[in-house]
Structure 1
Amino acid sequence: MEYQNITLSIPREVLRRAKHMAIERGVSLSGLLTQMLEEMTRREDEYQKSKEYHIAMLSELDLGTHGNTSWTRSDLHVRQ
């Protein structure tokens, strides 16, 4: 994996706490941030894959309307 240096501007208190978290986990601050970003991007990839799967499932669902409805929203919510 190729690495690239970046510059971050982080609030001092957040940085202090993040350094403590890194020490507690036995990793560098850079390692901690890398782990967190990897987890975030992995979750995003899984979400997108799941979303695409479910949209494909919905497109195959046949409700017998052929994309047309014979009712309006107010028809479905008739108050008596």
Structure 2
Amino acid sequence: MTKNITLAVDADLLARFRVLAAERKTTVNALVRQHMAEAVGLEARRSAAIARMLELGNQSTAQIDMSKWDRESSYARGSKA
């Protein structure tokens, strides 16, 4: 099922977007739908990637001794390069 929406956009932006749609031989509606679908898909992939990184981090057995780290030694290590 599709739903209608109403958008308020700058007239110049809409005119340029109509030109873009015409150049792509499509409609403004089709372009908006495509952009919305891409945005939702991107967000879903980003969320899945973050969840996977957290999962891998929780499974890691690596140990870091943070007591040996301080700001001064970090800068000193960086300047030796």
Structure 2 residue ranges without an equivalent (≥5):
77-81
- For the pair 1:37 / 2:45, whether they are aligned, the reply is no
Alpha-carbon distance change, 78 to 14 in structure 1, aligned in 2, over 3 angstroms = closer
What is the match of residue 48 of structure 2? Answer: 49
Alpha-carbon distance, 1:70 to partner: 3.3
So what's the TM-score if we normalise by structure 1?
0.78
Identity among equivalent positions (%) equals 18
Alpha-carbon distance, 1:75 to partner: 7.1
What is the match of residue 20 of structure 2? Answer: 21
CA RMSD of aligned residues (A): 2.0
Relative to total residues, which structure has the larger helix share, 1 or 2?
2
**TM-superposition CA deviations, 1:25-61 (whole Å, max 9, x none):** 1111111100111111111111111111011101111
Residue identity opposite 1:5 in structure 2: N
What is the match of residue 70 of structure 1? Answer: 67
Secondary structure of the 2:7 match is coil
Residues of 2 paired with 1:39 and 1:74: CA distance?
42
Alpha-carbon distance, 1:76 to partner: 4.5
Secondary structure of the 1:70 match is helix
Once the two structures are overlaid, the 10-residue window that deviates more, 69-78 or 33-42, is 69-78
Residues of 2 paired with 1:15 and 1:33: CA distance?
11
Alpha-carbon distance change, 75 to 61 in structure 1, aligned in 2, over 3 angstroms = farther
